[in-house]
């Protein structure tokens, strides 16, 4: 299958892969980093993993103007999208859809903060095979939708990213395996993500019949307020008042829709945010604790260790080690170049 993605405004090509071609070894895994840097539009960074049977794209958008992506395919594909940051209400959400043979164009908006997402492409035949294998009530509905020419009809709503999905995505991004072991590891993780999505889709179908459209809109607004106020979250009573419901309905409906309690969901987001901040190495443990609203660093350390199973200092030390190793490498490279120049 052939996938090609291009920015229409500048004709910049991100991906043009011949997946599954004879030129590729059966167990190969090709990794690539592509950076689009344009003063008029902004910066887009893609880290791509291509194994022939699947393609994973980790994307970061820092755009000052919207751009239009043109996606071309010579076959029917499935695409899982996970939105991790920067899309306001759609942050920490996901959907799955079919890409028909031909060309599609979609817009990526400008944003005041970095937009982060993960896209996973794989042949629709693999998806059909999984549905045929599963004893699943919604199998017929999914199979029928798969043959429609309207990709948006594949799934009715963008669903909230569950804690389990976030964990799998984090494991995929931090995988240190190489070669065929990494490929097999990622294949298993993709299957795990797909099963989690199908499970949530089925759950969501039952939830849609339980709650009114107004109730669902209120829960989405509550979720938005939780995301926007990590450092100073309001009480359940205040949150319920802000979205126009009561505390009992808030607790019941929020958990049914998003798979977690309000404070459990808040903790999930705070822990992932903390992990990202520490990995970048721009803040120490005390600064991260302060920015996320913890009374003391020790409270933050306890919460972080309970969630991840290791201390935040471990993440910070690893990040600093990577930076220092890179610095040593660059210094060594520069020294070699100076030696060569001196020799001449």
Question: What domains lie within the chain, and their CATH numbers?
Answer: 2-209 (no CATH), 212-319 (1.10.10.60)
What's the CA angle centered on 225, arms 193 and 161, to 5 degrees? 0
| Residue pointed to by tokens 């019949």 | 209
What's the confidence (pLDDT) of residue 67? Answer: 93
| Token reading at 271 | 């822990």
| Token reading at 155 | 């799934």
pLDDT band, residue 239 (cuts 50/70/90)? very high
Overall average pLDDT of the 17-21 stretch: 50
The answer to whether residue 143 scores a pLDDT higher than 90 is: no
Task: Give the three-state DSSP class for 92.
Answer: coil
Give the integer Cα–Cα distance in Å for 88 and 223.
Answer: 10
Residue 97's contacts (CB-CB under 8 Å, 6 or more residues apart) are 78, 79, 81, 151, 152, 154, 155
Residue with the bigger pLDDT between 205 and 138: it is: 205
pTM for the structure as a whole: 0.69
Residue with the bigger pLDDT between 336 and 240: it is: 240
Distances (CA, A) of 286 to 129, 289, 296, 333: 50, 5, 8, 35
What's the confidence (pLDDT) of residue 53? Answer: 82
The answer to whether residue 14 scores a pLDDT higher than 80 is: yes
The answer to whether residue 60 scores a pLDDT higher than 80 is: yes
What's the confidence (pLDDT) of residue 154? Answer: 37
């Amino acid at each position: 299958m052939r996938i090609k993605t291009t920015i229409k405004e500048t004709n910049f090509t991100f991906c043009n892969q011949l997946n599954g071609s004879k030129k590729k070894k059966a167990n190969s895994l090709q990794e690539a980093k592509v950076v689009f840097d344009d003063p008029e539009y902004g910066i887009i960074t893609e880290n791509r993993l291509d194994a022939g049977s699947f393609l994973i794209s980790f994307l970061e958008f820092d755009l000052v103007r919207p751009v239009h992506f043109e996606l071309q395919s010579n076959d029917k594909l499935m695409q899982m999208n996970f939105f991790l940051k920067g899309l306001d209400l759609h942050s920490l959400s996901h959907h799955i859809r079919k890409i028909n043979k031909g060309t599609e164009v979609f817009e990526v908006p400008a944003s005041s903060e970095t937009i982060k997402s993960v896209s996973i492409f794989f042949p629709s035949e693999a998806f059909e095979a999984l549905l045929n294998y599963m004893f699943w009530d919604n199998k017929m509905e999914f199979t029928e939708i798969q043959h429609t020419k309207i990709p948006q009809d594949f799934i009715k709503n963008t669903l909230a990213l569950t804690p389990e999905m976030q964990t799998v995505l984090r494991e995929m991004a931090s995988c240190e395996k190489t070669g065929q072991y990494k490929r097999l590891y990622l294949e298993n993780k993709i299957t795990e993500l797909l099963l989690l999505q199908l499970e949530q889709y089925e759950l969501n179908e039952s939830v849609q019949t339980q709650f009114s459209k107004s109730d669902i809109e209120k829960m989405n607004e509550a979720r938005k307020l939780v995301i926007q106020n990590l450092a100073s979250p309001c009480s359940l009573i205040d949150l319920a008042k802000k979205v126009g419901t009561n505390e009992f309905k808030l607790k019941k409906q929020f958990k049914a829709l998003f798979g977690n309690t309000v404070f459990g969901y808040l903790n999930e987001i705070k822990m992932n945010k903390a992990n990202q901040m520490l990995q970048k190495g721009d803040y120490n443990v005390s600064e991260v604790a302060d920015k996320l609203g913890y009374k003391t660093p020790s409270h933050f350390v306890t919460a972080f260790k309970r969630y991840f199973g290791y201390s935040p200092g471990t993440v910070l030390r690893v990040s600093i080690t990577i930076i220092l190793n890179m610095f040593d490498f660059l210094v060594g490279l520069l020294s070699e170049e100076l030696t060569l120049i001196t020799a001449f």
